[in-house]
Chains A and B, each alone.
Chain A
Amino acid sequence: MYLFTYASVGYTRFMENFDIAIIGAGVVGSAIARELSKTTARVVVFEQHADVAFGISGRNSGVVHSGIHYKPGSLRARLDVAGNAGMEKLCRDLYVPFERLGKLTVAFDQSQTMELERLKEQGDANGVPGLDLLESSQMRTLQPGIAGIKALHSPTTGIVNPMMLTIALAEHAYQNGVSWKFLHTVESITTENHNSFIIGCSTLDGFRSYKASIVVNCAALHANKIAAMTAFNEHTVYPCRGEYYVLDKRLKDELNILVYPVPSAHSGGLGIHLTKTTEGNILIGPSNEYIDDPDDESSTRPVMEILKNEGNELLPSLQTSDFIRSFAGIRPKLTPPEKGGYSDFVITSQPDLPNIIHLLGIESPGLTSAPAIAEMVTGLIDNRLPLKLKREWKPSFHDNDELYRRAYPASHYPLAERQEMIEANPDFGSIICRCEEISKAEIVSAIKRMFGPITIIGIKNRSRISTGRCQGGFCIPRIVSILHNEFGIQSKDIWLKGPDSPLFEGTLRQSGGYHDT
């Protein structure tokens, strides 16, 4: 539910007016918002969901790609390599977990070996540092037991927590003055003149209109719907689903480095493979399936079977109880199913309305590229509306409260550090999520940090609650109590991910019930 009522302040009297409106609060929209927060421009972000990273940005492998797979000179090559280079510092500045694990792209036969050599040349041309072709013995020192005859080692490949990256970018932008409008679905964009637009949104409180001089469309799966509102119909977005399985952290040491097969030329993905999250869960996936409905994030029985079999083949020590969760994300592809493969990102001012900038087909490596995309889009905006840096921009988070902002949960750190945290705030010793050992202090902090509606998934993305092997069976009832006791939120008002997904119907009796945390 909403803790704040900021969204309804004064809208009846005048139409809120912004310089720049960003549509879509994924990692790209959030990165652009943060980049623009450095300037004096008045920026707003419209998001149909209740939080950032509720679409594809929160549903992917979290891999920071090195840049070997993209055609030299393409946007994907340039933006990926630039994004990768800056990721470590960005993540350090914003307390986001990032690890440069490196990656092996493995060849199993002679024809694939030739493809590896081509990938290396392409990577070198793209400026990917440190690429090396390894023989099988060298491969095995990096990942014991690995099959294959040759591999391309890309040491700059990394992993990031994509939800936390998006949240950190957005939150930093928020602290630096960007306005966020959640549960705002953009329904219409009308042109007042070439540099003034009225953006109509459906919201919980009915239809609302806002004014902006520049519109940035980074609505991913819905970007062509937004583009159609200003009659920009040159591209079609084809939803392509990727399903994953999440494995128990017990297996985290089974994978030291990311291992990918050589991609086949026509597939629109990099093949089902194992990756690891920054928290140590191995992911199996993603599958690659064109679908009609851009919002159908279903896991499907046939694909789950494939993923399970794949996992059992790649990880012999896998047990049935290690499969803890499945999920799906949907790529916004510009290549139709009959063609497959990839096309380059489209990032462009609309020719007849140059104050509207469209970002289309930002699929992989969109996560890696996001910071570089933000800089590029800021440049495009600056051409239309000269931007001025603001002096009061703060390069790091500035909180009034004592908030927990470290990259990993408190349980990740040595006991002495943990004891210091407990000393400062005893609630660091109250464990609420047993599987991930997340404390009450971290959960309360995550809730206080939320600058939009409070949702369970939002708390989860910020604190890692319920991501472990019991999937919330233990902590969700206790988090319900924290929301009740510390924030005064009644059970009927708790949302899983938005107003249409209430956790409960209400209470059984008018009063009573024991909320201990």
Chain B
Amino acid sequence: MTPDAILDVLVIGAGPAGMAAASAAFEHGARTVLLVERDNRLGGILFQCIHNGFGLYRYREELTGPEYAELDIERLASSQVIIQSETFAVDIVRDDALLRVLLIQRGKADWVCTKSVVLAMGCRERTAGAISLPGPRPSGIYTAGSAQRLMNIQNIKIGTRAVIVGSGDIGMIMARRMTLEGSSIAAVTEIMPHPGGLARNIHQCLHDFDIPLYLSTGISNVYGRHRVEGIRIAPVGADGTLEDARGRDIECDTILLSVGLIPENELSRKAHVMLDPRTQGAMVDARCMTSIPGVFACGNVLHVHDVADFVSEEGSLAGKSAAIWSQKPIIPRISVPVSCGQDIRYTVPQKINEPGDIVISLRVLKPRPSCRIIVKQGNRVLAKKSFIRLQSSEMVRIPVTIESIESVEVVCETT
């Protein structure tokens, strides 16, 4: 590739979304596809997810994170996708019909020019500051994902006795992981009245190891000036505030935070991509194109997923769309919203602009007992799906066929 060459597709981030996007872009006719990754290997966060549970939907078998990544890496190797690791994309600007992206890597910093960009930067973890964790600032407080990397990749023993704040999936997986490595987990706490992660993780990571999960419980203090010495947990009262008087102290030397993920959209903001405050990701149409023509988004940078398989599927769609765009850029004339009825937190896509088979991903606002999700255009029902129970943490995916460009509404009905 010469420096002034114009790329067809530039994919930013080589986690499950970006790897699938790059392969799909190549398979759908894009000739020059560049995949940039900030780490020195492909796979993104999959590499540190040494537990199983990956690939059930995509490959119908249960793989570990690295095994799952390996299949995408092999697929890339059989393509002519150009891979550049240890490279940061730090800026995106529009240049007429083209896009320019500033890439920084060891020994080099330069702009590249491309017809399309696929944003696949993933997400980051919410921190102690974001949840107003009180107390002094001792060592021993980590986000669950950082702890996972430190343990699984860097061979580091973080502590002996931990409390996990938040019941996100990574937190629960780390509860099991630390237990298996000889540390004890005193408790997992969750401020909400319902768990934050998948039901399978509550069973496999907590129940199976007798780790208590305290719902409607917050942190009212952290002890230890130098290293964590303990934590004070307290129930959430009727008015939503913590009832410190009813709290209790737990001794521990480590606190892991699993309190939510935030799509990593700083680069998208620089490109002036319009974001959806509900997902904190881009607003996209059914082919994953953002408000900026030629810029696509997929995976956890678009909205936080619960299962990697669906990240890959979305990545493939975005890669394919970018490839088609790079050959024939068409901006549809009319675009109509996908609106959320009562109890629906968000949908992706947020708008549609062409007919075809699409998948609508969504989450409900709060846990629902028996319910039905209905997708309709006016009075015409496009699809419905029933649930015995639906968690707000669970992502629902509903395939629908769009025949006419009319507003779509998604509603949740109690059954």
Within 8 A of B (CB), among A493-517: 495-498, 500-509, 511-516
Q: How far is the CB of B129 from chain A (nearest CB, A)?
A: 4
Q: Report chain A residues within 8 Å CB of B106.
A: 426-427, 429-430
CA distance A471 to B128 in the complex (A): 8
Interface flags for A414-453 (1: CB within 8 Å of B; 0: not) read 0100110010001101110011010000000000000000
Whether the Cβ atoms of A476 and B136 lie closer than 8 Å is no
Whether the Cβ atoms of A429 and B105 lie closer than 8 Å is yes
Whether the Cβ atoms of B227 and A501 lie closer than 8 Å is yes
Tell which of A29-37, A127-135, A183-191, A324-332 binds the partner. A324-332
Whether the Cβ atoms of B132 and A323 lie closer than 8 Å is yes
Q: Report chain A residues within 8 Å CB of B149.
A: 477
Q: Report chain A residues within 8 Å CB of B242.
A: 301
CA distance A418 to B102 in the complex (A): 12
CA distance A227 to B384 in the complex (A): 77
Whether the Cβ atoms of B156 and A480 lie closer than 8 Å is yes
A144 within 8 A of B: no
Whether the Cβ atoms of A515 and B154 lie closer than 8 Å is yes
Whether the Cβ atoms of A470 and B109 lie closer than 8 Å is no
Q: Report chain A residues within 8 Å CB of B405.
A: none
Q: Report chain B residues within 8 Å CB of A473.
A: 124-125, 127, 143, 145-146
Q: How far is the CB of B86 from chain A (nearest CB, A)?
A: 7
A93 within 8 A of B: no
Looking across the interface, which residue of chain A has its beta carbon closest to that of B262? Answer: A321
Looking across the interface, which residue of chain A has its beta carbon closest to that of B148? Answer: A477
Whether the Cβ atoms of B107 and A298 lie closer than 8 Å is no
Looking across the interface, which residue of chain B has its beta carbon closest to that of A517? Answer: B40
Looking across the interface, which residue of chain A has its beta carbon closest to that of B277? Answer: A319
Looking across the interface, which residue of chain B has its beta carbon closest to that of A515? Answer: B154
Q: Which of B108, B130, B139, B253 contacts A497 (CB 8 A)?
A: B139
A297 within 8 A of B: yes
Chain B residues touching A, range: 35 or more
B135 within 8 A of A: yes
CA distance A359 to B94 in the complex (A): 58
B337 within 8 A of A: no
Contact A496/B139 with A298-B134, A422-B108 known, Cβ cut-off 8 Å: yes
B280 within 8 A of A: yes
Whether the Cβ atoms of A471 and B88 lie closer than 8 Å is no
Whether the Cβ atoms of B88 and A434 lie closer than 8 Å is yes
Contact A514/B154 with A299-B134, A473-B145 known, Cβ cut-off 8 Å: yes
B246 within 8 A of A: no
Looking across the interface, which residue of chain B has its beta carbon closest to that of A293? Answer: B225
Looking across the interface, which residue of chain A has its beta carbon closest to that of B145? Answer: A473
Chain A residues touching B, range: 35 or more
A117 within 8 A of B: no
Looking across the interface, which residue of chain B has its beta carbon closest to that of A327? Answer: B137
Whether the Cβ atoms of A429 and B138 lie closer than 8 Å is no
Whether the Cβ atoms of B153 and A514 lie closer than 8 Å is yes
Q: Report chain B residues within 8 Å CB of A319.
A: 277
Q: Report chain B residues within 8 Å CB of A300.
A: 134
Whether the Cβ atoms of B280 and A505 lie closer than 8 Å is no
Interface flags for A459-503 (1: CB within 8 Å of B; 0: not) read 000000000011111101100110000000001000111101111
Whether the Cβ atoms of B150 and A480 lie closer than 8 Å is yes
Whether the Cβ atoms of A513 and B155 lie closer than 8 Å is yes
Q: Report chain A residues within 8 Å CB of B278.
A: none
A16 within 8 A of B: no
CA distance A508 to B227 in the complex (A): 19
A110 within 8 A of B: no
Q: How far is the CB of A132 from chain B (nearest CB, A)?
A: 37
Q: Report chain A residues within 8 Å CB of B160.
A: 505
B279 within 8 A of A: no
B104 within 8 A of A: yes
Most central of B145, B159, B225 by chain A CB within 10 Å: B225
Looking across the interface, which residue of chain B has its beta carbon closest to that of A322? Answer: B130
B151 within 8 A of A: yes
B194 within 8 A of A: no
Number of residue pairs spanning A and B whose beta carbons lie under 8 angstroms apart: 163
Q: Report chain B residues within 8 Å CB of A505.
A: 157-160, 253
Interface flags for B190-228 (1: CB within 8 Å of A; 0: not) read 000000000000000000000000000000110001110
Q: Report chain A residues within 8 Å CB of B41.
A: 516
Q: Report chain B residues within 8 Å CB of A509.
A: 155
A246 within 8 A of B: yes
CA distance A299 to B220 in the complex (A): 11
Looking across the interface, which residue of chain B has its beta carbon closest to that of A324? Answer: B129
CA distance A486 to B41 in the complex (A): 20
B126 within 8 A of A: yes
B38 within 8 A of A: yes
A198 within 8 A of B: no
B90 within 8 A of A: yes
CA distance A510 to B248 in the complex (A): 37
Whether the Cβ atoms of B154 and A491 lie closer than 8 Å is yes
Q: Which of B109, B129, B157 contacts A506 (CB 8 A)?
A: B157
Interface flags for A237-264 (1: CB within 8 Å of B; 0: not) read 0000000011000100000000000000
Q: How far is the CB of A458 from chain B (nearest CB, A)?
A: 13
Whether the Cβ atoms of A502 and B139 lie closer than 8 Å is yes
B181 within 8 A of A: yes
Interface flags for A295-308 (1: CB within 8 Å of B; 0: not) read 11111110011001
Looking across the interface, which residue of chain B has its beta carbon closest to that of A431? Answer: B88
A320 within 8 A of B: yes
Q: Report chain A residues within 8 Å CB of B385.
A: none
B272 within 8 A of A: no
Looking across the interface, which residue of chain B has its beta carbon closest to that of A326? Answer: B129
Whether the Cβ atoms of A474 and B124 lie closer than 8 Å is yes
CA distance A245 to B133 in the complex (A): 12
B345 within 8 A of A: no
B58 within 8 A of A: no
Contact A504/B157 with A296-B136, A320-B130, A324-B127 known, Cβ cut-off 8 Å: yes
CA distance A472 to B129 in the complex (A): 12
Q: Report chain A residues within 8 Å CB of B127.
A: 324-325, 469-471, 473
Q: Which of A295, A434, A500 contacts B38 (CB 8 A)?
A: A434
Whether the Cβ atoms of A422 and B109 lie closer than 8 Å is yes
Most central of B126, B129, B225 by chain A CB within 10 Å: B129
Q: Which of A250, A323, A477 contacts B129 (CB 8 A)?
A: A323
Looking across the interface, which residue of chain A has its beta carbon closest to that of B104? Answer: A429
- A-B pairs with the 7 shortest C-beta distances? A513-B155, A426-B107, A500-B226, A496-B139, A325-B129, A501-B226, A501-B139
6 extra A-B contacts, CB within 8 A, seeds A422-B104, A496-B138, A504-B158: A299-B132, A323-B132, A426-B107, A473-B143, A500-B226, A507-B157
Interface residues, chain A, with chain B CB atoms under 8 Å away: 245-246, 250, 295-301, 304-305, 308, 319-321, 323-327, 411, 415, 418-419, 422, 426-427, 429-431, 434-435, 437, 469-474, 476-477, 480-481, 491, 495-498, 500-509, 511-516
23 CB-based A-B contacts, threshold 8 Å:
A299-B135, A301-B244, A321-B126, A326-B129, A326-B132, A419-B110, A429-B107, A429-B108, A430-B105, A431-B104, A437-B90, A472-B146, A473-B125, A477-B154, A480-B156, A491-B155, A495-B139, A501-B226, A502-B227, A504-B158, A506-B157, A514-B153, A516-B41
